[in-house]
């Protein structure tokens, strides 16, 4: 037996962008439901940076405080669980959870985030977000000047290495196989003192997530203090794709300047829409998505 409940807006995803959208909508007297499975991508990251008033705090503490603040609004409700299906109805949308509950809504916001796909490399999952890092703005200052690696290949390795080289001159690019950078790119990097290593990696030596060395398949190793990694990702939820949302070539949900997806009445915000993955950016996008959703509801009922 399923239960059915109706809301003005359902937000799928209860991390920074979802909570921010809920705060904007809850304060606008909208009946809001946040459906959250409780699996943020930065779960083991020890510190968050570049977010004013919260610089250096753990992502968990920021999210906990945010949920506490949003929970004070009677207009916002929380559902702990996994949304598995969504569909358009005559009056809006229906969302079904893993346990079979059905929730109806006039508008829908995807704040579902992304899931990083780890390579088959022993130790990388344990180090991810701690000493194997993705963003120089989030983590670069803490490892400035240190012996640093970059796990990437091709055009992204060349472009990203410029940013990392600005923070440390002791930089090695690990292509983990034959380099696909052009000869011109490789020569320019070498002229900057950047080393390119094509030997395949077997594992990362670490202590409680703090990387110590890269271990290669040929038995050799190289000591490191930090490793940037440009990893592939997938959408944390497949509902946007199943509902027909358009996606960008990079694999993100396509939104316009108002955070609207290609489906009328459906908005998206946070890491699932942009390559700029940061807490501050997610919060800003969530606030705007909430405001634009509220405006659309007002325009339709005025």
Predicted pLDDT at 58: 84
Contact 261, 110 (CB under 8 A): yes
Pairing relation of β-strands 132-133 and 233-235?
unpaired
Give me 179's structure tokens. 């380099």
State how far the Cα of 71 lies from the Cα of 76, in Å rounded to an integer.
7
pLDDT value at residue 54: 84
Confidence check: pLDDT of 69 > 60: yes
Distance CA 240, CA 10 (A): 14
Helix (H, G, I), strand (E, B) or coil at 246: coil
Distance CA 261, CA 255 (A): 5
* Residues 105-141: tens digit of each pLDDT: 999 999 999 999 999 999 999 999 999 998 898 899 9
Q: What is the pLDDT of residues 181-235, one digit of tens each?
A: 999 999 999 999 999 999 999 999 999 999 999 999 999 999 999 999 989 999 9
pLDDT at 233: 93
**pLDDT above 50 (res 158):** yes
Least confident residue range of 38-42, 127-131, 264-268: 38-42
> What does DSSP assign to residue 236?
S
Q: What is the mean pLDDT of the chain?
A: 94
Q: What is the pTM of this model?
A: 0.91
- Determine contact, residues 81/98, Cβ cutoff 8 Å: yes
Residues 222/171, Cβ–Cβ less than 8 Å: no
């Amino acid at each position: 037996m399923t239960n059915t409940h109706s809301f003005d807006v359902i937000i799928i995803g209860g991390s920074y962008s979802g909570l921010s959208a809920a705060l904007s909508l809850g304060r606008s007297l909208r009946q809001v439901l946040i459906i959250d499975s409780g699996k943020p991508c930065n779960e083991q990251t020890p510190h968050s940076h570049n977010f004013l008033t919260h610089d250096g705090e753990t992502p968990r503490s920021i999210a906990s405080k945010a949920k506490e603040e949003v929970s004070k609004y009677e207009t916002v409700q929380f559902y702990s669980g996994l949304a598995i299906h969504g569909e358009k109805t005559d009056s809006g949308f229906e969302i079904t959870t893993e346990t079979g509950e059905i929730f109806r809504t006039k508008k829908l916001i995807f704040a579902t985030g992304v899931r990083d796909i780890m390579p088959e490399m022993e130790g990388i999952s344990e180090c991810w977000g701690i000493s194997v890092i993705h963003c120089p703005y989030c983590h670069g200052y803490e490892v400035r000047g240190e012996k640093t690696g970059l796990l990437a290949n091709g055009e992204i390795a060349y472009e990203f290495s410029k940013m990392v080289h600005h923070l440390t001159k002791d930089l090695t690019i690990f292509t983990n196989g034959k380099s696909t950078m052009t000869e011109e790119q490789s020569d320019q990097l070498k002229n900057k003192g950047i080393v390119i290593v094509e030997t395949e990696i077997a594992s990362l030596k670490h202590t409680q997530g703090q990387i110590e060395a890269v271990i290669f398949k040929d038995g050799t190793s190289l000591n490191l203090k930090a490793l940037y990694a440009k990893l592939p990702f997938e959408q944390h939820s497949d509902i946007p794709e199943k509902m027909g949302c358009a996606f960008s070539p990079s694999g993100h949900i396509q939104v316009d300047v108002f955070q609207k997806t290609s489906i009328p009445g459906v908005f998206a915000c946070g890491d699932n829409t942009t390559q700029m993955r940061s807490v501050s950016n997610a919060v800003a996008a969530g606030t705007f998505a909430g405001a634009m959703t509220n405006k659309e509801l007002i325009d339709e009922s005025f």
